[in-house]
Amino acid sequence: MTDLPASVPRSVAPVVLDHPLVQHKLTRLRQAATSTAGFRRLTRELSLLMCYEATRDLPTEPVEIETPLERMEGRMLSGKKLCFISILRAGNGILDGMLDLVPAARVGHVGLYRDHDTLEAVEYYMKLPEDVAERDCIVVDPMLATGHSAVAAIDRVKAAGGKRIVFVCLLAAPEGVACMNAHHPDVKIVTCSIDRGLNEKGYIVPGLGDAGDRLFGTR
C-alpha cells in the first residue's frame, strides 16, 4: 500500500493498491487514446484485483474434504457470504469482473445521478437482496469524487440493514475520502489511486474522464 496525500485526513485509512499490475493497468485506463473496448476490459481486470483485496477479511471455517489422495481439512467461506452493490450505471463495469471471481454473490443496485448544479446525489432506483443485513456488502463505483453519491448509496444500504460494508473504486479524490470519513468512518475504502483533487466541475484530476461514458461509449 502507498502513503496517503497530506490532504487526506489521517483518521481515514483507505487501502491504496500499489501492486505493479494494478498501476500498469490503471495507467493504460487513464490514457485518452484507450478505446471503449479496451477501457471496459481493463476495468474488468482491475475489478478482479480490487475484489481480491476487498474480500481479504471474509470469515472462513474448516471443512473436511477428500482429495484424489487422502482426506484433509481445508477452509471455505462461512456464513451468508457476499453481496455486491453497484451504484448505477458505471458501477456495473466493476461489478462484472467481481462476479467472475465470486459468481455466487448476491447483487444489489442503487441508481443515483449527480445534479450538475448542486453536485448532490439524486436517487432514481434501488433494489437490494432481502437478506442484505446478513451479508458482507461491497459497494462499487469507479469514482469517489465529491463523495456525495457514495455516501448516499451507503446511507441506503445501511437503512436496509447492511452493517459490514466496503467501498471499492478505481480512483478517489481527497475530498471524497474526507466526505466518506465524515459520514461513514466505519466503511473501508479500497482504491487504485488517490488523485490530486477535483476541478471546478467536480471531476477527479488528473483522473480518467467520465468512467460511465468511457465504459459505454456515450458522451
Q: Confirm whether 36 is a catalytic residue.
A: no
The catalytic residue among 18, 100, 213, 218 is 213
Active site residue 114: yes
Whether 191 has a binding-site annotation, put simply, is: no
Distance CA 166, CA 156 (A): 14
Catalytic residue among 3, 10, 71, 118: 118
If one counts every other C-beta atom within 10 angstroms of the C-beta of residue 169, the result is 28
- Residue 211 assigned to a binding site: yes
| DSSP structural state of residue 132 | G
Name the grid cell of 193.
489511486
Site of grid cell 482491475:
46
Confirm whether residue 148 is marked as ligand binding: yes
Does residue 186 carry a catalytic annotation? no
Is 195 an annotated catalytic residue? no
146 in a known ligand binding site? yes
Helix ranges (H only) for the chain are: 20-30, 36-54, 91-101, 148-159, 174-183, 211-216
- 105 annotated to bind ligand: no
User: Is the CB of residue 216 less than 8 Å from the CB of residue 209?
Assistant: no
Among residues 28, 41, 96, 114, the one annotated as catalytic is 114
Residue numbers annotated as active site: 114, 118, 210, 213
Binding positions for uracil: 204, 209-211
Binding positions for 5-phospho-alpha-D-ribose 1-diphosphate: 89, 114, 141-149, 210
Binding positions: 89, 114, 141-149, 204, 209-211
